């Protein structure tokens, strides 16, 4: 009798385990039951080393992403859909023909399907959309059809439907010092701008200090409330009139980032880049979401130098010379740092990588600066760099742009665009997604437009390039879309 009871308990326990492992209550991400069919997917027409995103979907919620020729086994019989997208390598677009196809897979059979790619040159060009004296930056709030153009002299103008509004959105020209590299250098919209109306401006004052102020819009959404200024931070910068940095931007984490220059002068004579007690030559990270006159910003708790003697808690990264422009993307942070005499660089970091030291003035790019050797152990070297020069390949001062996430030219998704003040070109590169690696540097061979000072981005993710002559150009496709 005891043996029968033990058997009953063990059988009940076994059935409970089987019930827990099966039925409709399982994980919806579990793979479908294995079958005996297989499907060989061939990607044809792509150059060696070029991968393309292809998605396979099938019975019972089957879904699989591949990037190269692959054989999938253990499939259940049924119809499978193969969906492929355009891929860009260099300046060439490879388009799948057809972009989507369905194939019947039978049990016990190895079925084959081929995705053929045809090559077409992807050509980019520029279309002038505005001309503003001393234009230095272009931005737009999320979900807004207006384009805001920043004039280094202290005005912010609005371009709507191709027409410039006559009244400036903001005019603080009476507070701006344009000496040297100074002026009104950028603006940043609060992530909740549509509801709170807050935006931030980065400028230099008459004492040559770096100042970041918060403003709010008036009842007229096309005009800011000029009396609403709240100074968020002021950073002394009195010694020289160059290397102010210049960009304020909100990260995906909701914090305000500031890229400050090293204080100016050749070679960082004040040695600010390596001084964690100075806010110059740094990326700063501030929480301004509840700023008041009594408490203008809060240090985010994940900042790396909180409560460390001799180190400013506002600092997110150090060792920068003049990070005039930087950009966020899903893959992290791109910092374009202008070099001294020899190298221009792009630095990459994930959003969780605080306390990185990018090397200046111990190094300029991957070169030791001022010495034959240097200790690189604690430094983060650039993901990409180029030598100075006078032709279209090289340059003298990198102008960082953005990662393209627009809809008009989907083949460009994930490519970071940049230019050079002296080069006047349009180039791009792409992060590999592994460490600090980049790939596919491309020169898009646009007509040289003279000195380039900045990039911009609208609410749709389309990119703009700003020339020193005040012309604002939109980056457009000039070739027919591949199909």
| pLDDT tens per residue, range 296-345 | 999 999 999 999 999 999 999 999 999 999 999 986 999 999 999 999 99
Listed range (10-19, 157-166, 311-320) with the worst mean pLDDT: 10-19
Listed range (24-33, 82-91, 336-345) with the worst mean pLDDT: 24-33
Q: Measure Cα distances from 20 to 10, 26, 28, 248, 308 in Å.
A: 15, 8, 14, 53, 51
Count how many Cα atoms sit within 13 Å of the Cα of residue 99 in the half-sphere of its side chain: 7
Listed range (182-196, 356-370, 421-435) with the worst mean pLDDT: 421-435
Count CB atoms within 10 A of the CB of residue 121. 11
Q: What is the pLDDT of residue 407?
A: 96
Mean pLDDT across the stretch 446-464? 95
Asked whether this chain's domains 37-121 and 124-477 adopt the same fold, the reply is no
Q: What is the pLDDT of residue 30?
A: 47
Residues 30-65: tens digit of each pLDDT: 454 578 999 999 999 999 988 899 999 999 999 999
Q: What is the pLDDT of residue 192?
A: 98
- Tokens representing 459? 């609410």
CB 448 within 8 A of CB 424: yes
Q: Is the pLDDT of residue 389 over 90?
A: no
- Tokens representing 320? 């920068």
Q: Give the DSSP H/E element, type plus range, for residue 4.
A: helix 2-21
Whether residue 361 has a cis bond before it, omega within 30° of 0: yes
CB 380 within 8 A of CB 349: yes
CATH class of 124-477: mainly beta
This prediction's pTM: 0.86
pLDDT band per the 50, 70, 90 thresholds, residue 91:
confident
pLDDT band per the 50, 70, 90 thresholds, residue 25:
very low
Q: Is the pLDDT of residue 4 over 60?
A: no
Q: What is the pLDDT of residue 448?
A: 77
Can you give the residue ranges of every domain in the chain? 37-121, 124-477
CB 93 within 8 A of CB 87: yes
- Tokens representing 7? 């058997």
Residues 113-125: tens digit of each pLDDT: 999 999 988 999 9
CB 337 within 8 A of CB 399: no
CB 254 within 8 A of CB 289: yes
Q: Is the pLDDT of residue 446 over 80?
A: yes
Q: DSSP character for 388?
A: B
**Burial class, 357, CB count within 10 angstroms (exposed 0-12 / middle 13-18 / buried 19+):** middle
Q: Measure Cα distances from 364 to 79, 181, 396, 477 in Å.
A: 57, 21, 13, 35
- Tell me which fold the domain 37-121 belongs to: Immunoglobulin-like (2.60.40)
Q: What is the pLDDT of residue 155?
A: 99
Count CB atoms within 10 A of the CB of residue 103. 15
**Euclidean distance between CA atoms 384 and 402, whole angstroms:** 15
- Tokens representing 351? 């959003």
Q: What is the mean pLDDT of the chain?
A: 92
- Tokens representing 110? 């190895």
Count CB atoms within 10 A of the CB of residue 375. 9
Q: What is the pLDDT of residue 21?
A: 40
Q: Measure Cα distances from 389 to 57, 344, 434 in Å.
A: 50, 11, 30
Whether residue 98 has a cis bond before it, omega within 30° of 0: yes
Strand partners, 477: 124
**Euclidean distance between CA atoms 410 and 391, whole angstroms:** 30
Expressed in angstroms, the distance from the first to the final Cα of the chain is: 77
Residues constituting the chain: 483
Q: What is the pLDDT of residue 383?
A: 96
Distant-in-sequence, close-in-space partners of 15: CB < 8 Å, separation ≥ 6: none
CB 242 within 8 A of CB 267: no
Pairing, β 384-387 against β 343-349: antiparallel
- Provide, for the chain, the percentages of residues in helix, strand and coil under a 3-state DSSP scheme, each rounded to the nearest 5: 5, 45, 50
Angle formed at CA 213 by CA 298 and CA 153, multiple of 5 degrees: 155
Q: Is the pLDDT of residue 382 over 70?
A: yes
CB 56 within 8 A of CB 41: yes
Distant-in-sequence, close-in-space partners of 297: CB < 8 Å, separation ≥ 6: 232, 233, 256, 286, 287, 288, 291, 314
DSSP string, 9-62: HHHHHHHHHHHHHSSTTS-TTSPPPP-SEEEEEEEESPPTT----EEEEEGGGE
């Amino acid at each position: 009798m005891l043996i029968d009871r033990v058997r009953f308990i063990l059988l009940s326990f076994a059935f409970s385990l089987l019930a827990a492992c099966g039925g409709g209550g399982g994980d919806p991400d579990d793979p479908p039951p294995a079958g005996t069919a297989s499907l060989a997917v061939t990607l044809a027409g792509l150059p060696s080393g070029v991968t393309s995103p292809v998605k396979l979907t099938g019975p019972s919620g089957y879904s699989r992403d591949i990037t190269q020729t692959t054989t999938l086994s253990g499939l259940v019989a049924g119809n499978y859909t193969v969906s492929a997208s355009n891929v860009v390598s260099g300046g060439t677009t490879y388009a799948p023909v057809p972009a989507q196809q369905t194939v019947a897979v039978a049990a016990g059979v190895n079925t084959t399907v081929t995705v053929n790619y045809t090559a077409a040159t992807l050509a980019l060009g520029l279309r002038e959309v505005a001309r503003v004296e001393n234009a230095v930056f272009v931005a737009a709030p999320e979900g807004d059809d207006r384009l805001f153009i920043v004039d280094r002299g202290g005005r912010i103008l609005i371009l709507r439907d191709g027409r410039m509004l006559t009244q400036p959105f903001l005019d603080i020209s009476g507070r701006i010092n344009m000496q040297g590299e100074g002026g009104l250098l950028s603006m940043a919209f609060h992530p909740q701008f549509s509801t709170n109306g807050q935006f931030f401006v980065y400028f230099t004052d008459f004492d040559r200090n770096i100042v970041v102020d918060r403003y709010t819009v008036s009842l007229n959404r096309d005009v800011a409330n000029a009396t609403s200024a709240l100074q968020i931070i002021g950073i002394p910068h009195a010694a020289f009139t160059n290397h102010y940095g210049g960009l304020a931007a909100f990260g995906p984490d909701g914090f305000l980032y500031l890229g400050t220059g090293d204080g100016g002068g050749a070679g960082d004579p004040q040695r600010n880049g390596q001084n964690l007690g100075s806010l110059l030559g740094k990326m700063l990270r501030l929480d301004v979401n509840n700023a008041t006159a009594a408490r203008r910003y809060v240090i985010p708790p994940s900042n790396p130098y909180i409560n460390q003697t001799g180190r400013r808690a506002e600092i997110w990264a150090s060792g920068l010379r003049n990070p005039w422009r930087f950009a966020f993307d899903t893959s992290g942070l791109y910092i374009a740092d202008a070099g001294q005499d020899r190298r221009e660089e792009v630095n990459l970091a994930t959003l969780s990588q605080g306390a990185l030291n990018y090397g200046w003035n111990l190094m300029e790019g991957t070169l030791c600066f001022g010495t034959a050797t240097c200790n690189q152990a604690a430094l983060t070297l650039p993901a990409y760099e180029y030598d100075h020069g006078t032709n279209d390949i090289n340059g003298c001062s990198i102008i960082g742009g953005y990662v393209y996430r627009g809809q008009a030219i989907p083949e460009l998704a994930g490519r970071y665009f940049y230019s050079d003040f002296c080069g006047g070109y349009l180039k791009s590169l792409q992060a590999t997604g592994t460490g600090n690696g980049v790939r596919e540097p491309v020169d898009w061979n646009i007509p040289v437009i003279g000195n380039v000072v900045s990039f911009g981005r609208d609410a749709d993710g389309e990119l703009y390039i700003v020339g020193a002559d005040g012309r604002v150009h939109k980056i457009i496709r000039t070739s027919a879309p591949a199909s």
